[in-house]
Structure 1
Amino acid sequence: MFKKKEKSSLENTAVLHAAESGADLAAVMKKYDREANVRHFEGIPKVIVRSMLIGFALFMVYMNLFANWGEQVRRCLFLGMVILLVFTVYPRRKGVEQRVNHIPLYDWILGIAGSGSFFYYVVNFNEIIQKATRIGQVEVIVGIIGILVLTEACRRVTGIPIIVVATLFVIYAFSTGLPLRRIIYNLFYTTTGVIGVPIGVCSTFIVLFIIFGSFLEATGISNFFIQCANSIAGASSGGPAKVAVISSALCGMVSGSSVGNTVTTGSVTIPMMKKTGYPGEFAGAVEAAASTGGQIMPPIMGAAAFLMAEMCGVEYASIIQKAILPAFLYFSGIFLMVHFKAKKLKLMGIPKEELPKFSHLFKNIYLLLPLVVLVYMIIDGYTMSRSAIFATLVAIAVSMFNKENRMTVDGFFTALESGGKGTLSVAAACGMAGIIAGVVSMTGLGQIFISGIVSIAGNNLMIALILTMICCIILGMGVPTTANYIIMATTCAPILITGMNMNVIAANMFVFYFGIVADITPPVALAAYAGSAIAGANPMKTAFNATVLAIAAFIIPYVFAYNEALLFINTTPIQVIQVVITSFIGMFAISGGMMGYMFRDLNPFSRFICIACGLMSIHPSLATDIMGVSIIGFIVASQLVVNRRELKTAV
């Protein structure tokens, strides 16, 4: 944002403490985010691999804007190129020092065999379609190779958890007595399996938005967000923690990774939080909880918003509109907790002279123009593909006004390369999620899930919601955001929609929230572990702290499950205002109860009352709202009175 000689001491201090923490950020990313674990190329091989990724990104732009091919052809071309690139870029396992410019022979074989399986489908598309379920032995073998190689590709870029889940589903399909030919046909050759809706959305909307995100990052917008957050909240009590919450919410709008967001903003905010006086496990937890919340922050929502629009059969603009209030309450909850924690520990903020002035930052507000153009075009009725392309062009244009981040020819190709590489993990995960969706569709497993939950819950929505929540957290552990949502929407959302007559969007949003919090919920809390590595803190303590800070994510879904006004569904402005006010008051009380402080220390009994009354205020009932708000008001008033008396006594 500023010239090097004009950098604030805040930035210099943050960089210094990041170094002193001993946390190698690249190593943290490689340990907790498989997407960062790539092969190292130099010289001509580097140029070739880079050209492949750039060519892939450009081909996706061409395919979405100009090509007029059938869906199966488009999706198979997309996956074929993805598999070839995965085996080119990603090694067999992470954490091992890789030889420069080395791709083992078995990776060449796997890459060619896997991509060749999908390209075979493209070349013989008409013949295979005519055969339908009567596919021959060759098609069965091709399908098996394609699925197995895709599984290995997904393991490399996302890890084991989603592979285990998909394998269990496939084993179930065989246990039902379905013949191999039928299973392969449904999973590989139809649009209900690997090349189903997830890959369809990924090859059209998601890939273009990932490319857009790469160009947006190149404009320096992340640094702009962090500096804005510093300017707004840095000087207040416990300022760095509040900066972490605000900057992670803003950066999360364009980030698709909880771990990536944690490391990016956490490299600055976590050392500053520790310097202010926050314990290491709390500092790491704040960043992890806020960064994970970035996945529920409109307009991108970790790319899940596009899939949700497709799954729910509504416009994308409708999804981001309905996600605004829940996201606001989530970040309000974390913000209040770090505020109460700072007050309890009597922590100070950052000296104002070390903070950037908002007047200096305001001149760079043009960096928001690509996001404004994106949202405006989508709301105005343009297709998401064209909106993403136009917003990308605007991002390139605005970069020209900033000397430090001006888009050069090399920068242009670097952004394309980054976009192409960023697509690989999402695409592989979407392919595996398609297998899960295919098994559910082919075997009727979804109806079995519904019948099982409904038989246990009866007509009790709360029991059904709790059981669904548990399923989502377990199935979502260690699974990337996009694939996470697909699994939840396929297996868990129908339980609420069909079994409990819940609104389609509310049900999908419910399972999405609980799938996401798996990133900070022990034992597989990757975002929290990444935060603990930067903070030099105990990973499990950090994860438990993050879970407490993200308590809003465990409460808000129940709010809109019972009161759809929070999602602007079947409601009036008065009802929306009421639910927002009472929910915010409830989060205020719960945050105070969790931290043991409001305007002064709370004793154990008062903490319990605050949490209970907070839940009452959030519950969508006029009686509970009045009772909860009244008691909270009494507690607040009594604390203020005691504070005033003590102040008079001290004087």
Structure 2
Amino acid sequence: MSTTTNINQQEMDKLIAQYDKESATRQLAGPMKWISFGLLVLFSLYQLSSTLFFTLPPQIHRPIHLAFGLALVYLLYAGTSKGKHNKIGIVNMILALLGVFVSLYWVIDYEGLVTRTGNYTTMDMVVGGIAVLLVLEAARRVVGIPIALIATIFLLYTYFGPYMPGFLEHRGSDVERIIGHSYYTLEGILGTPLAVSSTFIFLFVLFGAFLEKTGVGEYFNDLSLVIAGRRIGGPAKVAVFSSALQGTISGSSVANVVTSGAFTIPMMKRLGYRSEFAAAVEASSSTGGQIMPPVMGAAAFLMAEFIGVPYLEIAKSAILPAILFFVGIWIMTHFEAKRLGLRGLSKEELPNKKEVLKKMYLLLPIVIIITALMMNISAERSAIIGIVSTIVVGAFRKETRMSIADIFAALASGAKMALGVVAATACAGIIVGTITLTGIGLKLANGLIDLAGGQLFLTLFFTMIASLILGMGTPTTANYIITSTIAAPALIQLGVPAIAAHMFTFYFGIVADITPPVALAAFAASGIAKSKPIQTGVESTRLSIAAFMAPYIFVISPALLLINTTLLESIWVMLTSIIGMIGVGAGLIGYWMSKLNVLERILAIAGGVLAVIPGIETDIAGIILIALVYSLSYYKARKQKQAVQTTL
């Protein structure tokens, strides 16, 4: 069976463009179409070559990466929503050329810029000022107004420091120093965020593009149908499983929603799920794809660089929380299906099991890239090994074999998908640069601790709120950079391990995609389901309760992140957390073996929360409460069954 959809490709593209600014590119025709295509291919080839064959100084490699990014952003993204989406225009061509010029200025005058650090010429200042403005505008076009606005506020704060109130006051910096620090050091635009974009992130995005080109995305859907389709409420569980897999090839929650939701949401609705619930299942699962190892969201690679650990350590630490997240959604969909009395899919509605199993070889590139990472091969080379293995594995069968045209298309697609990351990390570099220049990061961290009265839980809560607010209009990558720079140090000061502190901000930056009032992934899903957007966001938040609980668990008990722990301790934390999620899920849905009354629901949720909180006493108390609710529900279900049999 093929995975048919209720929306066509044009509608899918429209939804992605509406809720994911990074996908809203111009539909070019004629010579400019091929020029932009050629630049995209060259961008990918440059990134591959710089990893495999030569190493350039960061002051040359990063500006070249930025040159490609800025030029392509101005060629492919319109300045306004009413702008011409099939024509570039003279202004955008000039901006694209300026983007190349200011970036290559570093390459042309590398020796001079290095030797005259802090003593810049008028030309240096003009070029640097234009570079800052071009980066801000590129971020606005691709990523959205919020990140450009935040970066602008930080720049103004740097200049007007002496006039700031209270602890925000600082000596201030003149325009020359701000521009110099922002563009002519490795602490601003060309800093760590862009460094990670120009290495790990780009290559893993490219790996995802090659996977998609071989048909792995559609195969994930078919495999999910075979595994989960026959179960109670099958399509909802298919959505959970498929979206977890789709996260491997898509770094965008919205793109993940539309890609897999195009066929899972209509199936869920046909089976009997409410529109809001069907959309929420897909939105929650798709958002979780960014926290699913082995290939997580772009911010995970930044985390590895910020903390100074191999990416494999980040992926390893994320395994158990990711499992807990998807188990939580699975549990909720299961109870909802039981409450509604929904069946699984029939055999006729499923793809041919033998045919699906024959294509298991398509998963080999993922296995290979995991193996490469575990063998301590660098993340960049692991990604390239994954790309090559995708081409080789795809050649096994005619329908997945990549032609030369397909390879070029994948190179272009990967570069296009990376443009959002280039713009976001370059702009975030401005923010990071102003933070290091003014020292505001430490001040805000101390202010956060003071606001929370030195209490860890309150500090965590305030960090969560900040991450959710920033995430309403900022992509995960930029959100993580800002919150990890400001909030993570506060958590570390209170004794939280670095990985746990950074993972906390990372998680809440991601779930912002499904948290009202601006829940882009949920809104995209509602567009497919024709449901109410805000209600879909509320439903998504409820389904993703595990994503809100897991960060608190691994801060209190780092065993969930496999930090300084034994295997037995980690298994115990995971087991009690899953039991707790069963209790919370049953309480929120209001059904277990039978319908739960208000008291039973309260007891189930209370027991679930207690079981999730690390500690022997809380675990035992929670498990007892959950067992009590299960017993009551089982007893009621048995009585109802006996009553029906007696009636018959």
User: Which TM-score tier does this pair reach, normalised by the shorter chain?
Assistant: over 0.9
Match of residue 87, structure 1, among 74, 79, 91 = 74
Shift of 1:87: 0.9
Q: Does the 8 A contact of 1:257 with 1:480 survive in 2?
A: no
Question: Which amino acid counterpart does residue 386 of structure 1 have in structure 2?
Answer: R
Q: Does the 8 A contact of 2:325 with 2:544 survive in 1?
A: yes
Equivalence for 1:18: 7
Q: How far apart, CA to CA, are the structure 2 residues paired with 1:68 and 1:243?
A: 44
Equivalence for 1:57: 44
Q: How far apart, CA to CA, are the structure 1 residues paired with 2:607 and 2:488?
A: 30
Q: Does the 8 A contact of 1:115 with 1:146 survive in 2?
A: no
Matches within 5 A, 1:208-287: 208-287=203-282
Equivalence for 2:555: 561
Shift of 1:235: 1.7
Q: How far apart, CA to CA, are the structure 1 residues paired with 2:318 and 2:353?
A: 28
Match of residue 78, structure 1, among 46, 65, 78 = 65
Q: How far apart, CA to CA, are the structure 2 residues paired with 1:605 and 1:178?
A: 60
- Aligned-partner SS, 1:18: coil
Match of residue 108, structure 2, among 123, 127, 130 = 123
Equivalence for 1:354: 349
Matches within 5 A, 1:463-502: 463-498=458-493, 500-502=494-496
Shift of 1:23: 8.6
Q: Does the 8 A contact of 2:44 with 2:411 survive in 1?
A: yes
Equivalence for 1:141: 126
Of the structure 1 ranges 125-134 and 268-277, higher mean CA displacement relative to structure 2 is found in 125-134
- Aligned-partner SS, 1:350: coil
Question: Which amino acid counterpart does residue 156 of structure 2 have in structure 1?
Answer: I
Q: How far apart, CA to CA, are the structure 1 residues paired with 2:602 and 2:122?
A: 66
Equivalence for 2:202: 207
1:505 aligns with 2:499: yes
Q: How far apart, CA to CA, are the structure 1 residues paired with 2:313 and 2:353?
A: 33
Identical pairs, percent: 44
Equivalence for 1:158: 143
Q: How far apart, CA to CA, are the structure 2 residues paired with 1:412 and 1:112?
A: 28
1:426 aligns with 2:421: yes
Q: Deviations over 1:19-51 (max 9, x none)?
A: 5xx992121111111222222223333222211
- Relative distance call for 1:181 and 1:331 in structure 2 (3 A) is same
Question: Which amino acid counterpart does residue 222 of structure 1 have in structure 2?
Answer: G
Q: How far apart, CA to CA, are the structure 2 residues paired with 1:43 and 1:103?
A: 12
Equivalence for 1:384: 379
Q: Does the 8 A contact of 1:255 with 1:261 survive in 2?
A: yes
Q: Deviations over 1:445-473 (max 9, x none)?
A: 11111111111223321111101111111
Q: How far apart, CA to CA, are the structure 2 residues paired with 1:105 and 1:23?
A: 28
Of the structure 1 ranges 636-645 and 205-214, higher mean CA displacement relative to structure 2 is found in 636-645
Equivalence for 1:4: none
CA RMSD of aligned residues (A): 1.5
1:586 aligns with 2:580: yes
Shift of 1:387: 1.3
Question: Which amino acid counterpart does residue 7 of structure 2 have in structure 1?
Answer: A
Shift of 1:95: 5.9
Q: How far apart, CA to CA, are the structure 2 residues paired with 1:543 and 1:82?
A: 33
- Aligned-partner SS, 1:132: coil
- Aligned-partner SS, 1:133: coil
Q: Deviations over 1:405-441 (max 9, x none)?
A: 3201111110011011111111110101111111111
Equivalence for 1:518: 512
Q: Does the 8 A contact of 1:23 with 1:534 survive in 2?
A: no
Equivalence for 2:284: 289
Match of residue 644, structure 2, among 629, 644, 650 = 650
Equivalence for 2:165: none
Shift of 1:143: 0.8
1:370 aligns with 2:365: yes
Shift of 1:254: 2.2
Equivalence for 1:534: 528
Match of residue 546, structure 1, among 540, 549, 556 = 540
Q: How far apart, CA to CA, are the structure 2 residues paired with 1:98 and 1:210?
A: 25
Q: How far apart, CA to CA, are the structure 2 residues paired with 1:42 and 1:207?
A: 26
User: Structure 2, unaligned stretches of length 5 or more?
Assistant: 162-171
- Aligned-partner SS, 2:117: helix
Q: How far apart, CA to CA, are the structure 2 residues paired with 1:409 and 1:493?
A: 46
Shift of 1:309: 0.9
User: Structure 1, unaligned stretches of length 5 or more?
Assistant: 1-6
- Aligned-partner SS, 2:398: coil
Q: Deviations over 1:280-317 (max 9, x none)?
A: 11111111111001011111211222111111111111
Q: Deviations over 1:134-161 (max 9, x none)?
A: 2122211111100101111111111112
Q: Deviations over 1:585-617 (max 9, x none)?
A: 001111111111111111122111111111110
Q: Does the 8 A contact of 2:39 with 2:68 survive in 1?
A: no
Q: Does the 8 A contact of 1:30 with 1:95 survive in 2?
A: no
Q: How far apart, CA to CA, are the structure 1 residues paired with 2:531 and 2:454?
A: 45
Equivalence for 1:316: 311
- Aligned-partner SS, 2:609: helix
Q: Does the 8 A contact of 1:30 with 1:94 survive in 2?
A: no
Question: Which amino acid counterpart does residue 599 of structure 2 have in structure 1?
Answer: F
Number of aligned positions between the proteins = 635
